[in-house]
Amino acid sequence: MRLSPDTLDRLPDAVARPGYNRDKTAIGIIHFGIGAFHRAHQAWYTDACLNAGEGGWAICGVSMRSATVAEQLNPQSGLYTLTQRSGESAETRVIGAVREVLVAGQDNDAIVARLASPDCHIASFTVTEKGYCRQADGSLDFERAGEGFYPLLAEALAQRAEAGLPGLTLLSCDNLSGNGRILGELLRAWLERNDAQLAEWFARECSTPDTMVDRIVPASAATDLDDLADALGMRDEGAVFTEPFSQWVIEDRFAGPRPSWENHGAQIVTDVTPYETAKLRMLNGAHSLLAYSGLDAGHTYVHEAIADAELRELTDSLMREEAAPTITAGADQDLSAYADALVARFANPALNHQLIQIAMDGSQKIPQRWLETLAAHQRDGQQCPAILTALAAWLRHVRGDRREVEDPMAQELAAAWESAGTEGIVEAMFGPGGLLASHWQPTPSDRAFVTALL
């Protein structure tokens, strides 16, 4: 037996289900990148709005890379369960917000039609850092962008402009600093190259608010799905597993209507920056440290790495001594309490969050997680030993001689190692003109510190 509208009433009583008429709910949101994170985060908030009686906010998910999610969710009419896990306790509910999953490259006409429909008000994104197709200098890589969401969005916006429909709110929910501003600038560059008039319409009628999203959602493991099937008495191929904690901070800059996410825990604010900076530099910065240094030390999961005294100390230094002092906290932010809470979340043994998952795509993550912190301290002439230690672990990781490197720049990174060698690699990566050149320029002492660890 499999989860679907027909089998919903055979679930155990303890499993909550959608209390609204799914068939009558119009699709108001098109979401690009419908992985586990979206299902456990934005779709969960939206489901709460639908349960509270708000109409018009069903989600059409777009899978950017493969048909797998479509195969998991479409036979279930978009239904899936979300299980919150902490220690020994687990709580499962059915989420009904996702109506259908379309596949980019396969269902392009349908995706454009959903976006161009008068019912649609929001296009949202969790396409990961690399999905924005930025070059090292931050500008749009037009060639790669042509394979991504840009042409679909451009076509749909052109149809909306032509039909005299209102613009859309484009909501980036990825871990980039200034994610909304970045999305706005890149899309504008794409439109300007192809249709200057449409670029003007976009600037006038659409908006791209910044957001900070936070919930730890490991990829669902086959054993999780099997155990869940035993507990539910039916299979759910689209199930997601996450922690109880969730946070969503959204800049109050919408082009049109939106769900009342703030009634269900989201924060709508005038400036997302302090939340986003703290999250990227502390949570994600620590995550990447645990990933590379933890793999090096032979660990598999985040909860194992944080239980390792040496790594715990490095994580504490990175968060409290290196990242926190670079953040101008908002009135309601206590960065020391934030660091305590993060360590407790990392220690959750029920999540089985794989370090190798976090280690993916380091070239896209490191700039906003580590390099901005390094640059801020460099201005005061200070060194960041914890981040430099993590940086050395990342460099060893991308040398590629231990395990396969999953990174869009894997080839360039390996080639840099090949030509620069141990003595030159720090400069080849981070020096002027380097692959990841940034506001942080390694000093001779930084270089010596990292090189000694390679």
Q: Which residues bind ligand CS2 (CB under 6 A)?
A: 175, 214-216, 284, 287, 357-358, 365
CA distance 32 to 152: 11
Distance CA 43, CA 240 (A): 12
Give the nearest distance from C-beta 361 to ligand CS2 in angstroms. 8
Nearest-CA neighbor of 236 among 247, 244, 227?
227
DSSP letter for each residue of 158-192: HHHHHHT----EEEE-SSSTTHHHHHHHHHHHHHH
3-class DSSP assignment, residue 100:
strand
Cβ nearer to ligand CS2, comparing 85 with 365: 365
Task: Report the residue number, 22 or 264, with the smaller CB distance to ligand CS2.
Answer: 264
Q: What is the nearest approach in angstroms of ligand CS2 to the Cβ of residue 432?
A: 28
Instruction: Please list, in sequence order, all residues whose beta carbon lies within 8 angstroms of the beta carbon of residue 347, skipping any fewer than 6 positions away.
Output: 303, 306, 307
CB-nearer residue toward ligand CS2: 11 or 64: 64
Please state the closest distance from residue 215 (CB atom) to ligand CS2, in A. Answer: 5
State the first-to-last Cα distance of the chain, in angstroms, to the nearest integer: 53
Judge whether 306 and 312 are in contact, CB under 8 Å: yes
Q: How far is the CB of 260 from ligand CS2 (least distance, A)?
A: 23
Q: Where are the alpha helices (DSSP H) in 5-83?
A: 36-40, 42-51, 68-73
Q: How does strand 211-214 pair with strand 247-251?
A: antiparallel
Which is nearer to ligand CS2, 279 or 377 (by Cβ)?
A: 279
Q: Which is nearer to ligand CS2, 111 or 358 (CB)?
A: 358
**Between 269 and 302, CB nearer to ligand CS2:** 302
**Least CB distance from residue 312 to ligand CS2, whole Å?**
17
Tell me how far, at minimum, the Cβ of 89 lies from ligand CS2, in Å: 20
Residue facing ligand CS2 at closest CB distance: 287
